[in-house]
């Protein structure tokens, strides 16, 4: 169980809305290309309140870098897709590390790595995966030519390089730039009220359980307003 899963949810009933094309998008969408079971659903939806905050973040970014944009890698994610990607990641890591998945002990150790970056695909309404709430987004930055800004690590990379402040104490110019880019992304989102996943430079959320858990470390206890939702609830 994730550390934030005990935080209560009082669902606000807010609808999912499509993210407008003022933002850039990953195309083709990676998980769709892998065969994740989206059916007719779209990964580029968020709750209406989350979109409002995202637009605030975009405005802040433009003050710092007028020609840059936020690029949406992934947003709304059905639990079935979460389960698909957890299994895909498990098998990819097992292959890369030479792990025997028929060995329960080895599989258990492997899943510790997987669940450090991927939420458990739970159908329990009290413990929804963050992306299934429509309140979590995975993003990066692009320049005026829609070329991705180098963040010093790939989205979904399972390594220490994914930690947001991995390059904080860097001394070489390239790594210093990586840290600067990550800080620009983070500051734009934090300014808009988002919180950043402690293990993932690309993952931000607003008013879901993880947001509340991160917010509680600084302020009074919170109650999550976004629980698991469905795209047909638009």
Residue at 156 is within a domain: yes
pLDDT exceeds cutoff 90 at 45: yes
| Catalytic residue status for 200 | yes
Per residue in 148-157, pLDDT tens?
Answer: 999 999 999 9
Residue at 120 is within a domain: no
Residue at 67 is within a domain: yes
Looking at 14, 148, 174, 200, which residue is catalytic? 200
Residue at 207 is within a domain: yes
Per residue in 177-192, pLDDT tens?
Answer: 999 999 999 999 999 9
Per residue in 47-62, pLDDT tens?
Answer: 999 999 999 999 999 9
Which stretch of 24-28, 108-112, 159-163, 215-219 has the lowest confidence by average pLDDT? 215-219
Mean predicted lDDT score pLDDT of the chain: 94
Distances (CA, A) of 54 to 112, 164, 188, 219: 31, 19, 9, 22
**Domain extent for 35:** 16-77+133-233
Q: What is the CATH number of the domain that holds 42?
A: 3.30.1380.10
pLDDT band at 222 (very low <50, low <70, confident <90, very high): confident
State percent of the chain over pLDDT 70. Answer: 96
Per-residue b or e along 120-150, where b marks 16 or more CB atoms closer than 10 Å to that residue's CB: bbbeeeebbbbbbbbbbbbbbbbeeeeeebe
Q: What is the pLDDT of residue 217?
A: 63
CA–CA dist 54, 206 (Å, integer): 10
Which stretch of 99-108, 149-158, 196-205 has the lowest confidence by average pLDDT? 99-108
Which stretch of 32-41, 81-90, 138-147, 156-165 has the lowest confidence by average pLDDT? 32-41
Q: What is the pLDDT of residue 3?
A: 87
Residue at 175 is within a domain: yes
Cβ(36)–Cβ(84) below 8 Å: yes
CA–CA dist 196, 214 (Å, integer): 8
Q: What burial class does residue 229 get, using C-beta atoms within 10 Å of its C-beta: 0-12 exposed, 13-18 middle, 19+ buried? A: buried
CA–CA dist 135, 186 (Å, integer): 16
Domain count, the chain: 1
Residue at 82 is within a domain: no
Residue at 69 is within a domain: yes
Q: What is the pLDDT of residue 213?
A: 92
* Nearest alpha-carbon partner for 59 in 72, 50, 68: 68
What does pTM read for this prediction? 0.94
Q: What is the pLDDT of residue 39?
A: 86
pLDDT exceeds cutoff 70 at 198: yes
Residue at 29 is within a domain: yes
Cβ(179)–Cβ(170) below 8 Å: yes
Torsion of CA 63, 182, 167, 99, to 10 degrees: 180
């Amino acid at each position: 169980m994730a550390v934030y899963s005990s935080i209560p949810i009082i669902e606000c009933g807010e609808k999912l809305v499509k993210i407008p094309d003022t933002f850039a998008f990953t195309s083709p969408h990676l998980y769709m290309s892998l065969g994740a079971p989206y059916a007719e659903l779209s990964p580029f939806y968020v709750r209406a309140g989350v979109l409002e905050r995202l637009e605030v973040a975009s405005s802040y970014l433009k003050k710092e870098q007028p020609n840059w944009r936020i690029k949406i890698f992934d947003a709304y994610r059905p639990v079935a897709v979460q389960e698909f990607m957890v299994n895909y990641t498990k098998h990819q890591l097992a292959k890369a590390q030479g792990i025997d998945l028929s060995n329960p002990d080895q599989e258990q150790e492997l899943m510790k790595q997987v669940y450090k970056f991927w939420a458990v695909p739970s159908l329990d309404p009290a413990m929804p995966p963050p992306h299934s709430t429509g309140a979590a987004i995975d993003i990066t930055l692009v320049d005026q030519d829609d070329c991705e800004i180098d963040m010093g690590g790939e989205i979904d990379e399972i390594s220490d390089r994914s930690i947001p402040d991995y390059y904080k104490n860097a001394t070489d110019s390239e790594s210093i730039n990586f840290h600067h880019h990550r800080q620009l992304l983070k500051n734009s989102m934090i300014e808009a009220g988002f919180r950043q996943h402690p293990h993932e430079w690309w993952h931000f959320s607003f008013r879901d359980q993880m947001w509340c858990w991160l917010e509680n470390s600084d302020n009074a206890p919170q109650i999550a307003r976004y629980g698991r939702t469905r795209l047909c609830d638009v």
